[in-house]
Structure 1
Amino acid sequence: MTSGTWSDSIPGVGTFFVGIDVAPGRYRCDDGKGGWWVRFTGPGGGDPVGSWPLPAGPSEIEIAQTDFAFETHVSTYWRRIAPPRTPGDGSPAEPRPVADPALRAELDTLVARRRPLLWLAPLTVLGLGLVGGPLIGSLWLVCLGMLALLVALAGPSVSLDLRRARELERRRDRYLMPEDLDDDGRALLGRVQAAVDAVRDSDVNREGLLDAVDNAVTLPRQEWEIAQVLAKQAKLRADHAELAGAAALPEVEAALRPLRDKLDSSVEAVTRRVEALERYAERARAADEVLRAQRHLERIAEKAHEYDELLADTVRDDLAIPAIERLTEQGDELVRTLRERLSKAAEAAQELPPPS
């Protein structure tokens, strides 16, 4: 499996874990001719769905939040054009898996060490052909040559994908699936991911206007740390329910009460952290509204000179000038408002606790 930083594009060849390597959503490639893709759906990716061969021209694919992995073999790359769809019944979407942000780079390093060895495989096949050709015949040499070509083209990619999948299984403590949480935890994680997506997909973030915060680093770390706490809370809630049901005695209830109070305090603390993320997302959305208004006003200003010429041709200059000045004042006011909104977004980001 190929991996990199979580961005809005997917390389044309490789296998990617959804929520760990790639974000869910709708993707488009400019030309998928002769290529193919597979979505590994269901628990653990046990229900694959694919398409082959892809037609010439653009192709689109919807990667759901509940998908386990996505495998692609196209000559171009995939670009995300829309966020994931929400359920039609209005219910909240299932949260996606969450991984330690350092996991992707760690897997890349392990796989890179194995890459040079993979290219020895086709050379070994060709070597056997050259040695055995005089003994077995030229047809055998041709067959081995074709096999070597197949191994050279497909072998490294498939082997690296399998290698990365095995290494990921060995690091099960470095990522969390939705089933690792209970209903309360999944609800909070869904709120976290909605806030993270809102900030990451905002226009002000895409254009680098939220430069006071490194969202590419901060947001994944916040999501991972919150998910870890939610998983621990889910386990302790289950343990608490089991202990409380074992014996409904006053002494047992008295012994469990301090533990329950500590658990409740933890829930309140992580909820405040989630709310801080949501405030940050709301400020980013508010800044987006002003940015769109500013861009719209700029488009109006581009046309303003035509109206200025019309006024100059029909009325005196002292009537035309105030109209021009009002347009300029509106633009200046929007710029000031945008700066205020960006400042408030930065303040909301500073409310987030520093990653541990």
Structure 2
Amino acid sequence: MKMSLQALCKIMLLAVTFMLFCHTAAAYTTIEGGDTIVIDDVIDDDIIVAGRTIIIEGTVNGDVVAAGGTVEVKGTIEQDLIVAAGDVTISGTVGDDVRVASGTLTIYGDVQDDVLSATGKTTLADGGYIGGDLSAASGKVTILGDIDGNIEASAEEIDLQGNIGGDADLNAEKISISSEASIDGNLEYRSKSETKIEEGTVGNNVQYTKMEYRDNGGIVSSLLSGLISYLGLVLIGLIGLAIWPEYMKNIAAKTSKSPGKAFLTGLLVLILAFIIAFLLFVTIIGIPLGLIMLITLVVMLYVSRIIASIWIGRYLLDKMGKSSRTMNEMAFGLLVLLLVSAIPIIGGLVYLAATLIPFGNIYMTARN
């Protein structure tokens, strides 16, 4: 559960970090659409594309930054692919690095350089190829294809059946290494119990470290952490309702209107806000303004969760035929949101949506 949530929480950090080191936002051609966007021709530029379903069947002679529900790469991307989505499938070719934060990542095709994934599930299918290193933080990692470089993976479960050209550093509760697998370098792994490894599977040294699990302490710690998070958010919510009562209620009412558009808007605004803040820090003179911007951004993300909680609480209480004050709706909705967010993979996606949809609505309301 923790690993899946951690992976989902990295979604913005991954996208922003690698965008900052490549180009500014002005260097990209932006493509926005509705339900489905199909790119089936040649584009000689870097692009940012956002839509519910994105299919790249043509050739992009540059970087691609994509945000959507489903992203499929069937054609060729000559440079980097940076994507935040529900499901990502690569059956074509990516000429450089891949940076993914998603529910699932499946690679059937070729990635010529490194892959960094923060996902619920990462799969390198049979016939799939990674020319560099794989760094994965996922709920489950399955390797059936070939990796020329190293693999560093942290997950709840790791299944290794393919070929690793370098070293393997694995960290999971359950690790299985097939007799068909091969690791040319060293293997270092940490798990609940030792894994059976056939002789000749690992080219060099094998080092195993036993993971220690303290179930009672873990449960108590998780409950305490959850309670503190809940009370902290309730406090923020009460302050927000005291300062902007009508504004927060009005934004909450918009949650069910065009949620897809609001989610993508929130995602893109957050990415661009981090880019602007970074550029302000680079200029030195703009550091104070950059700090103010980052602080404001963090506050607005918390406020977004409060707004989502108001909508959730009101919706559920209405379904139960009960009416209540806004602060009670908020407290009830927050409790439901935190409980749902504890569900592996799905909960993280719900929590992410509950943050970005109101954030997008806040931006669109301010713009209008």
| TM value normalised by structure 1 | 0.29
Higher RCO (CA-CA < 8 Å; seq separation 6+):
1
Higher Rg:
1
More helix by share: 1
More strand by share: 2
